[in-house]
Structure 1
Amino acid sequence: MSGVQGLLCAGFPTPAELRLRAKLSVGGPLENSDDKYWGGNHMSDVISATIGSVAGAFLESIHGCHRDQSRNLRDRRRASAESLLLDLRPLHRRMRKVDFSRNPKKWSHDINRALHCIEANQSLLPDEWRHLCRSVRAAVGEATGLGWSEVLGGKPSKVASFDAIWIEHGAAYVGYTIAKIERWQNANRDASARRIRLADFDTWLRLTGKYSRV
């Protein structure tokens, strides 16, 4: 069996069928079936048009996949940001209250909630934000005097040793973090979202000059 015969037996279209399909794709006259119709450059034009349409469909499929992937990443990023904001805002409000409670159990609830949420969403955050859990813990710890074991529910002090200056600094840092998360949430492109900078707590203290006020 020849190579051509093998292709025909395998179900591949015959040359005549290929010419007919090409006619249909470019609107050629079906009634004109003689080879004169394919003289000159017409056959190459048909082939070019067919290849172009196939390539166009392929590229559109690739772009469609990229669009779907980008949309999925954007949706996940925005859901992650919404979760973080939902748990950080109550902690921020508690830190900004003038008549805040000095009961460490009440603080432990908000602190635990915020830190656990950060850890749960860490994989979706920009690489430069890996310090976020540590930074928020440091900001709150300096403000309240609560150790990490106390926050986790060990044996909390009867009264937390709040420091007025550090509670102000801690609240300002958590507020700064919330503003950055909001920018990250609202970024239109994931590349832009990844470029948003978030300073760690110690760097932020130096940049804002708050170390000198302690």
Structure 2
Amino acid sequence: EWRARAGAAEGEFLIAHFGLINRSKGLDVLLRARATLLQESIPACLLIVGGTAGDNDPTNLDYAKEIDLMIDSLELRPFIHQTGYLDENAVSAYLRTADVVALPYRDGASYRRGSLMAALRYACAIITTTPAVTIPTLVDGENLLCVPPDNPAALAAGLRRLHDDLDLRRKLSQGAAALAPTFDWEQIARAQVVFFDHVRETCA
């Protein structure tokens, strides 16, 4: 049902992108990667979940217009579905039904990205960009697949690999599911208590 709502035909590879539209999230890079897949005759539907411009930066509106023009210039309109604003239940349903979630941040993956946290929480197979600073819990090939930032060719290659390898998609999904409980707020609070207790003992 949700795949049909996303505009994915039977057998199509469903790629989801989640979050507000701004330049740092690299949606233009994803569009160029999707265009490469189109040239390679890989059947794929791109689902833009949320897909509205954030209002905290006026340049976001300009970027959203760029994205709209790019969709047409790359002849991708028939292969893209944009949801607009959704409640949490619908976001969850769309992300869970996608074959992969693509998050090509220009500054690399990090835990400050709510869209990454959501994709981990919903046990998605994630392709994202290499963190700018090493994050030990984010393991390339285990709980996500990393590609260089601002590199449409590398992103297309990663998406092609995920399209061809169902076992890898399952592995990444299972890895995300295993990592997700570390973001439970009660567990985070307990971990902070343990950390500060350790600090007090060290400084005593």
Say yes or no: TM over 0.5.
Answer: no
Q: Which has the larger radius of gyration?
A: 1
Quickly name the TM-score band, shorter chain normalised: under 0.3
> Normalized against structure 1, the TM-score is what?
0.23
Instruction: Point out the structure with the larger helix share.
Output: 1
Structure 2 length-normalised TM: 0.23
